[in-house]
Amino acid sequence: MLPASSAPDRRSAIKSRHRQAIVNACAALLSERRGTDFSVDELAQRADVSRRTVFNHFASLDDVVTEVGTDVVASSLMLPEGTAPAGYSPLDDLVDLVSSPRFIEAVSYLTQVLGRADSRSSPQQAIMAFRSVTMAGDQVMAALVSRHPEADPEDIQLLVGTFAGGISVLYERWCAQTGAIDTPDSRTAWIELIQRLVAALRTGTGAGTPPSRS
């Protein structure tokens, strides 16, 4: 008989293994179907677990898809550990992240599986994509606070929110221009759009002159 203290550890390991199997199965189905047109029963069969086990870990199929999307985005937004080099700003870090081939690949992939660029995704798919990016953004903010201890965390939060808003605008334009297909030309187009965003943020282009206080 196993010692009493090892029983919870064993149950925890089984739960963790089942959850990862469900996430892996969802990722595989998304990649194969290039969309979310599969059922909980199909997911459970692919993960080799019961339908009940799926719902023990996730409230809905959308939640599984969202976790997969979050993993995809988060894996493309990894900052180096440690303090940032002298003169390197949080904005510099953000630009490096979204300019990387891994991020462009991740965005292209999510576009293909959660709503193609040449058609409107459903509100449900749009929410899943938004949640995936938002949850990954929390990771980015934590990393920026760690890399820039001299910066006010609230200022970093404001910067990330502002930058994310700009990225969402650029994303729509990029989809229209390139179909969100990951190619050398589409990557060049993305980088050019990022450069415009950074220029606007650094110079305040479009902000106008603040009204005077009487």
Q: Which position has the higher pLDDT, 172 or 6?
A: 172
Total Cβ atoms within 10 A of residue 92: 13
What is the distance between the alpha carbons of residues 198 and 209, in angstroms, rounded to a whole number? 19
Q: Return the amino acid letter for 120.
A: R
Domain-by-domain residue ranges, the chain? 7-58, 71-203
Helix axis angle, 123-147 relative to 61-75, nearest 10°? 40
Model confidence at 156: pLDDT above 70: yes
Model confidence at 126: pLDDT above 80: no
Total Cβ atoms within 10 A of residue 67: 21
Dihedral sign for Cα atoms in the order 200, 202, 208, 211: positive
What is the distance between the alpha carbons of residues 184 and 206, in angstroms, rounded to a whole number? 30
Mean pLDDT calculated for residue range 147-162: 94
- What pLDDT shows up at residue 3? 58
What is the distance between the alpha carbons of residues 82 and 137, in angstroms, rounded to a whole number? 19
In percent, the amount of the chain with pLDDT more than 90 equals: 51
Model confidence at 212: pLDDT above 90: no
Q: Global pTM?
A: 0.75
- What pLDDT shows up at residue 9? 82
What is the distance between the alpha carbons of residues 104 and 115, in angstroms, rounded to a whole number? 16
Residue 139, burial from CB neighbour count under 10 angstroms (0-12, 13-18, 19+): middle
- 7-58: CATH, from 1.10.10.60, 3.40.50.300, 2.40.110.20, 3.30.450.370: 1.10.10.60
What average pLDDT does the chain have? Answer: 85
